[in-house]
Amino acid sequence: MTISKREKRRAVIEDKELLRLLKALTECGLSITIKGAMLLNVILDGDKLPLRRGTRDIDFDIDADVELGSSEISSEELRALIQSKLSSVGYVYDFDIIRPYKPGSSGLNLGVVTRQSGQEVLIASMDINVGRNKYQVKYNTAYGFDFYGQSMARIFADKVKVASQRKILWRYKDLYDLTLLGKYSGWSAKITDDIIEDTGGELEDFSTFDKRADDLYSAHTAFVRDYGLSTDMNVIYETVKSLIEPFRKPQSEELIWDGSKWVRRSQYRGPLMLKTENFARQSSGFGTLHLQ
19-32 pLDDT, tens digit per residue, is 889 999 999 999 99
* Triad 88, 20, 94: Cα angle to 5°: 55
- Cα gap 274→276, rounded to integer Å: 5
* Cα separations in angstroms, 292 against 21, 137, 138, 150, 280: 26, 11, 10, 16, 6
Neighbour count for residue 187 (Cβ, 10 Å): 24
**157-184 per-residue burial string, b: 16 or more CB within 10 A, e: under 16:** bbbbbbbbbeebeebbbbbbbbbbbbeb
Mean pLDDT of 240-261: 92
Helix (H, G, I), strand (E, B) or coil at 126: strand
Beta strands in the chain (DSSP E): 32-35, 57-62, 94-99, 108-116, 119-130, 136-140, 146-150, 255-257, 262-264, 279-281, 289-291
- Please give the mean pLDDT across all residues of the chain: 82
Q: Which pLDDT band, with edges at 50, 70 and 90, does 42 fall under?
A: confident
Mean pLDDT of 101-115: 85
- Cα gap 57→237, rounded to integer Å: 26
Q: Please determine, looking at this structure, whether the domain spanning 5-150 carries the CATH number 1.10.3470.
A: no
Using the predicted structure, report yes or no on whether residue 103 has a pLDDT greater than 90.
no
Whether 129 and 273 have beta carbons less than 8 Å apart is answered as no
Q: Which pLDDT band, with edges at 50, 70 and 90, does 286 fall under?
A: very low
Closest C-alpha among 145, 171, 278 to residue 226: 171
Whether 219 and 177 have beta carbons less than 8 Å apart is answered as no
- Cα gap 243→88, rounded to integer Å: 44
Closest C-alpha among 248, 59, 84 to residue 154: 59
Domain boundaries for CATH 3.30.460 within the chain = 5-150
